[in-house]
Structures are given as structure tokens and as C-alpha cells.
Structure 1
Amino acid sequence: MIIFRKLSEVKEKLRHPAVTIGNFDGVHLGHREIFRRLTGKARAQGGVSVVITFTPHPMQVVSPGTGVKLITTTTEKEALIAAAGIDYLLEIPFDWNFASIPATQFVEEILVGTIGMESLVIGYDYAFGRGREGDVNLLRALGERYGYTVDLLEPISNGTTIYSSTAVRNMVGAGDVKGVLSVLGRHYAVTGTVIHGDQRGRVLGFPTANLCVQKDLLPAAGVYAVKAAVGHDHFDGACNIGTNPTFDGHRLSLEVFLFDFDGDLYGREVTITFIERLRGEMRFPNIDALKEAIARDVARCRAILGAPESSAGQADPGRDLSGRQGE
């Protein structure tokens, strides 16, 4: 896939392009259906498929107070769009000047004049341009003038939930990491760098890696069964998101205990894939009660993930493991 990160990089009109436009945050199953239709359209007209998106997300510019939490980073979104077989990705820098461009001007100067669009595929709820005036009616009217076709996809769902980025955000935010698979099309994941935490691993007997993550969207506070990738190595694990109320904590943290891992993780990048939520965050009366709960959580995670029992889940509380996984 060829990526253009600004309009000036498009030096000439593309070959019989089929185009779609959107934010495509999350690249969920609805987006992937749009891409499937797009690539099919491109093949039918002997041309190329083109995805046009914006960076940063327009809501972060025009309505920053809404606090939209993105499902995917730019790098993740690029990789997912490439995996859908798209030929070209145009990432248009979005600011207030661009937001003020009328939809008709966007079509005439960019879609037709720069890209050479011959067909357009859009989702049922998409609109663009100043005041979101670029709806399907305007696009079809302009298509008659400039000779491109417009395909509108009706809402796509799993029978209960319409595929949308909002639905994904709501489900992840509520901790429904198992249910979101049916909308997102994959398990939700975050990537972070292992940093120094509060060094409680030696006390609790389950050393954890404390992650500084790249995303604002985290699952609800609680305990999760997870898969973890460290470089080319993969591990099962148990993850806790929360403020550590048993220790009167206030700062939100994400910590993961990797089963059967032995090594130093400080400074390394770890990707956590959330499989299932076990429970919400709890405050325990003392450290012994917390240790017993963690042991139960680890056993349940092993059962969910199909990992065999091992001594890693029964670490000696007296053993200094704080420098191993990160905490």
C-alpha cells in the first residue's frame, strides 16, 4: 500500500480510482465491508482502491471537549487498512482551515481534480465538508456532473449491534472485551512500554510489568485474561487496570503478570490483547486477602486461556522478583 500523508504528494491522477472517505477509527467489521466493496469496485473498473482519511481525528479539532478516545493509533490504522488489500491511503492533515472547505469544493478540487475519482463507496451515516453538507444526496448530484458513481452501504450489524466506532468505544469502555470481538472483528489490544512502578511484586508474589500505553481508550477497571507479545515471544497473562485501592492508590495503571516469563522487561515494548474480563476493581481488607484474590484470578486466567498450571503462578512471596517483569 502506498501512503500519501499530504495532498501535495499526489503528483497526478490515479488509475481509474475507486474511493472511500472516512475516519475509519478501529477498522471494525463495518469498515472492512466498505473496503471489500471498494476493492471489488476497483477491480471491476480496472483501477485502484483509495482510502481517504484525516489526521488528527476531526473531532479532536472541531470539538476537543468531547474527549473522543481513539480505538487505533495511526500506525495501527495504517497496518489494518493495508491488510484489507487497499492500494492507496491518503491521510489529509486536518485543521480548522481544512474544516472550513465546502463539500462541493472538496469534491471538485480533491476527489475529482487531484485523485481523478471514478467511483465512491461510503457508509450509510457518512457526511463531510463544512457543516457536514457532503451527504449522499449532494455526492450523487455532483456525481452526475463529474461522471463518478456513488455506492451507499446500508447499516451492517451482527444482529444486535450496528457496527460502528462508537459501539466499539462503548463496549471497550465498559470492559466488554469478549463481546467487542463481534463488532471489532478482533480482540482489543494496547501497546505500551514497561516502566518502573510501585515495586509491590516482591510483596504479592506475582511480579507485574507496569505499562505506559499509547492509547487513551482502556477497558474498564478490573482484571482481565490477556495474551501478551514481547518482541517475537508470546505469553498468556493476567492484567489489572485500576488505581490499586487496597493500597489507597489514585493513579490509574495497567499492570500485567506474564505466566512463565523470566527476564527483564524494563524499557521494552509489550502488546496486550484482552481476551476476557474476570471481575471489576475491588478493595481488599489486607494484603493477604489481595494475594488470595490474585491467586484465584491467575488460576481463572489460566483456565480461560488454556495455559497449564505451573510454579509461575505460585511464586514465593519472599523471592525478589521486582526486577523481572517490571514491578
Structure 2
Amino acid sequence: MEEANQEILLGSLFETGPRPGIRHITIGSFDGVHRGHQEVLSRLLALPPGPKACGVVTFEPHPLTVICPERSPPRLTTPAQKVRLLAASGAALVFVVRFDRKLSELSPEAFFEWVVRIFPHLQTVVVGQDFRFGRDAAGDVGRLREIGTRMDFAVRIVPPLLDNGSRVASSRIRQAIRERRFDDAERWLGRSYAVVGQVAPGEGIGRRIGTPTANLTDIAQLLPPEGVYACRARIPEEFPAVANYGRRPTLGSGSSPRLEVHLLGFAGDLDRREIEVSHWHFLREEKRFASLEELRAQIAADVVEARNHFALAR
């Protein structure tokens, strides 16, 4: 994840040494690293002398996971995805701050006292209009400007990025995914929505009926509604695929939904490998079939439809 002269730092705000080369920073959760976040990053990196003096400060886990778990939103990016996307901006430093109860108790002023200890030559803080910080989210952009005046750094506020008159926001992207509006989610993210999971051993039923599937577990991100989808699967090679997210009613597999992916044109062992599933396209609702033979026929039709969707030769 590191480029030349680029540092990826994971650690505590209270234990991190100074980074005197960083003059300009942005701070936020950046879940999704969507186009609104990208606009903030662009404004940051445009400050002289450019990316070599810029740092991105983000948090893991999401602060609400610690402060109010029941309000914590489902993730759009894994920690690794988020760091990779932030690092791709070209900033000299991506600092992933461990968010814990101690950090959550800092007042807005105390939080920035620690920030300027780490960045002693801080000149500019660039944030979005709705930036909040400090205990009970007591700090807003007005308070940040006051702190900046006292601590001798400038504050630049980036207005919301609008699309058709509405702001691009993580909450809108989550809603689009919940409603299978993947084109909207892709437009607001600036890329296809991608979910990451690890392959776990299954019962081998898919292989027995001619369509071996990878059973994905440890998924920490928002999944679309249950159903059957054409998609792409990266392992890291990319394959067109058919995904089933649901309860497998024909097989009587229980009440907990699972994500299974059948990679088209792949032959090999996927056990314990990580797969990234993206380019979602809804094919049909999940349904119960009278027999495995009917299920096999429907899966074959799903594969044909997926191939057609991705304009592949049959």
C-alpha cells in the first residue's frame, strides 16, 4: 500500500511521534471514500507545496462503534479498502488513528492539542462542512476555526458535493445499495461498490450440481437485499460471476442469509482466499424450487443472463 515517500501509519493518537514534514491535513471517518470525500482530498492536495506535505487522518473503528454501537452504520469499505483508497490520493501520510474510549472523551480543544503535537508545523486543516469532533461531537467547523486561531493554523471548509441538487453522502450511498440502485451508488462512489469476504468451506452441493460456489464469510460491509446477481469477482484476477445472497430455500439451509459466488471460467481451489465482489447487477429474487434439477436449470439460465450482461462470448 505504500508508495515511495508515502507512510501508512496505524496507531494511537497518544503514542505517535511527531511528523514535522506534514503541514496540511484533513480529518474524517471517510467511509466509502466517495466523491464528496475525494473533493476534500483534492482541495487538500492542491495546497502548496503539494502532496508531499499533506496528511490524511482517519479512524478505526468508526467512532460510533465505540460511542453508540446501536447507531453505528454498516460499512461501505473495509479498513484495508479505505486505507488503499486514501493512499491512492497521493498524500504523504495516511494516519489511521485507533479510536477508543479514551479518545472519545477528549474535548474538542484537547483533541487538537494532541493533533498539533503530532503535526508541529501544521498550517491548514481541510474538512467538510459537517465535520464534528471531540467529546459528544461538541466541536463543529465554527469551533474548529476558533481553535485554529488560537493554535495558529488555517481552516478550509469544503462545501458538500451535489448531484442533482442533493449532497453526495455515505448515507445516500447506503440507501442506494439497499434499493439495488447500483448505478447511483457507483456514480457517487466514483467506482463500483465492492464487498470483501473470505472463502470458507461449504457442503459441496454447488459442485455436485455443476456450479461450484465460494461461500463468503467475515463480511463487514453492507450487502444488497437478498437475491441473485450478476457481478465480478476479484481474487486478484477478475472473473464474471453469479452471486446468490440469501437463505438457499431449496436446500433448507436455515434462516441466516449467506453470500455465495460462482466464478465463470475459473477452475481451482478458492478455500481461505479473499474475494472482492463488485459490479452488482440484479437478476432475480431468490426462490424455492421443487427439486435440485429445477435449481440446476435456473442456475444455468442465471449464468447465461450474467454472460449476456457482461457481453461475454457464450
Q: 1:105 to 1:202 in 2, by over 3 A?
A: closer
Structure 1 SS opposite 2:192: coil
Which residue pairs with 1:95 in the alignment?
100
The CA deviation string for residues 254-287 of structure 1, in whole angstroms up to 9 with x for no partner, is: 1111112222222333222233122232233443
Which residue pairs with 2:46 in the alignment?
40
> Which stretch of the first structure deviates more once superposed, 154-163 or 132-141?
154-163
- Larger of the two Rg values belongs to structure: 1
Q: 1:169 aligns with which of 174, 181, 188?
A: 174
Pairing 1:139–2:151 present: no
Q: 2:245 aligns with which of 233, 241, 246?
A: 241
Q: 1:88 to 1:16 in 2, by over 3 A?
A: closer
Which residue pairs with 1:21 in the alignment?
27
Q: Is the 8 A contact 1:103 1:133 kept in 2?
A: yes
2:93 partner amino acid? Y
- Deviation of 1:163 (Å): 1.6
TM-score, normalised relative to structure 2? 0.89
TM-score, normalised relative to structure 1? 0.86
Which residue pairs with 2:3 in the alignment?
none
The CA deviation string for residues 270-323 of structure 1, in whole angstroms up to 9 with x for no partner, is: 2222331222322334434333322222111101112211xxxxxxxxxxxxxx
Which residue pairs with 1:6 in the alignment?
12
- Deviation of 1:67 (Å): 4.7
Structure 2 SS opposite 1:7: coil
Q: 1:206 to 1:56 in 2, by over 3 A?
A: same
Pairing 1:189–2:194 present: yes
Pairing 1:104–2:77 present: no
Which residue pairs with 1:321 in the alignment?
none
Q: 1:246 to 1:178 in 2, by over 3 A?
A: farther
Q: Is the 8 A contact 1:20 1:50 kept in 2?
A: yes
**CA–CA distance in 2 between the matches of 1:289 and 1:178?**
32
2:178 partner amino acid? G
The CA deviation string for residues 232-271 of structure 1, in whole angstroms up to 9 with x for no partner, is: x321111111111222332311111111222222233322
In the alignment of these two chains, the number of paired residues is 306
Which residue pairs with 1:60 in the alignment?
65
Structure 2 SS opposite 1:11: coil
Q: Is the 8 A contact 1:17 1:47 kept in 2?
A: no
- Deviation of 1:16 (Å): 5.5
Pairing 1:291–2:296 present: yes
- Deviation of 1:7 (Å): 3.1
**CA–CA distance in 2 between the matches of 1:237 and 1:9?**
45
1:32 partner amino acid? Q
**CA–CA distance in 2 between the matches of 1:240 and 1:178?**
20
> Which stretch of the first structure deviates more once superposed, 3-12 or 25-34?
3-12
> Which stretch of the first structure deviates more once superposed, 32-41 or 220-229?
220-229
- Deviation of 1:61 (Å): 0.4
After superposition, the CA RMSD in angstroms is 2.1
Structure 1 SS opposite 2:183: coil
Q: Which runs of 5+ in 1 are unaligned?
A: 310-327
Structure 2 SS opposite 1:179: helix
Which residue pairs with 1:86 in the alignment?
91
**CA–CA distance in 2 between the matches of 1:203 and 1:98?**
52
Identical pairs, percent = 34
Q: Which runs of 5+ in 2 are unaligned?
A: 1-5
2:249 partner amino acid? P
